[in-house]
Amino acid sequence: MEIKLIKGDITKIHADAIVNAANSSLLGGGGVDGAIHRAGGKQILEECIRIRNRQGKCNTGEAVVTSAGNLPAKYVIHTVGPVWNGEEDKSSKLLKQCYKNSLQLAESLGLKTIAFPNISTGIYKFPKELAGKIAVETVKNFQSENIEKVIFVCFDDENERIYKKLLD
Ligand code: ADP
């Protein structure tokens, strides 16, 4: 499995799936979530609403999938990261679940490429260094048959620096 780092906007990425750092309502929000719904159009929100009506809200650490509307990606995998509250063990486990469940979902759909934002490191205030370490470790440990490429999309300079170092 190839691991790649890109600096930029995840809504522009041509991958089989891009991952959204959603919130448990699945109804959109700020940050990358807002950007994905804005660029992807209303089809994504309509599918999120259908998922909610079927299964209720999405718990932290879990992942669900929709199509990608007007985005160049084929699917959006929505996962809910933990809000950082200083409980390092608990939050780390939940963040790991986000990466693992998203990868598992991509794997079960037979997808070859998946792009991740830096989940929880924006509005949810997870320390970036620790979040990066968990993200890279979880991806490297994932046993995959189908996934050929994982792209970490860093939006801010600090995350880009952190991921460059981690992937060196
Ligand atoms: P969370 O609530 O999980 O913290 P945010 O969207 O606030 O989610 O932030 C998660 C990460 O996504 C942050 O590192 C932020 O810089 C980044 N981000 C914001 N907009 C985009 C975008 N368009 N593409 C990729 N990453 C983005």
Quote ipTM for the complex.
0.99
Distance of CA 156 from the midpoint of ligand 1 (Å) = 9
**Pair 132, 163: CB distance under 8 Å:** yes
Side chain identity at 47, as an amino acid letter?
A: E
Spatial distance between the Cα atoms of 89 and 163, rounded to a whole number of angstroms: 21
**C-alpha torsion sign, points 23, 58, 69, 115:** positive
Residue 26: the pLDDT is 97
* Ligand 1 centroid – CA 118 distance (Å): 6
Question: Is residue 42 a contact partner of residue 28, using CB atoms and an 8 Å limit?
Answer: no
pLDDT of residue 104: 98
Contact (Cβ atoms closer than 8 angstroms) between residue 8 and residue 156:
no
Q: Could you tell me the residue range of the domain that residue 82 belongs to?
A: 2-167
CATH at 53: 3.40.220.10
Number of H helices, E strands in the chain: 5, 6
| 33 within ligand 1 shell (Cβ under 6 A) | yes
Pocket lining: 71 vs ligand 1, CB cutoff 6 Å: no
User: Within the chain, which residues score under 50 in pLDDT?
Assistant: none
- Cα–Cα distance for residue pair 63/102, rounded to 1 Å: 6
- Ligand 1 atom nearest 121 alpha carbon: 4
Structural domain total, the chain: 1
Residue nearest to atom 26 of ligand 1 (CA): 155
Place of tokens 């189908």: 146
The pLDDT of residue 147 is 98
Q: What's the chain's average pLDDT?
A: 98
Does the active-site annotation cover 33? yes
Cα 119–chain centre separation: 6
The Cα 101–Cα 62 span in angstroms is 6
The whole-model pTM stands at 0.98
Ligand 1 pocket check for 48: Cβ under 6 Å = no
Question: pLDDT, tens digit, for every residue of 75-111?
Answer: 999 999 999 999 999 999 999 999 999 999 999 999 9
Closest CA to 72 of 101, 39, 48, 23: 39
Among protein residues, the one with the nearest Cα to ligand 1's atom 19 is: 32
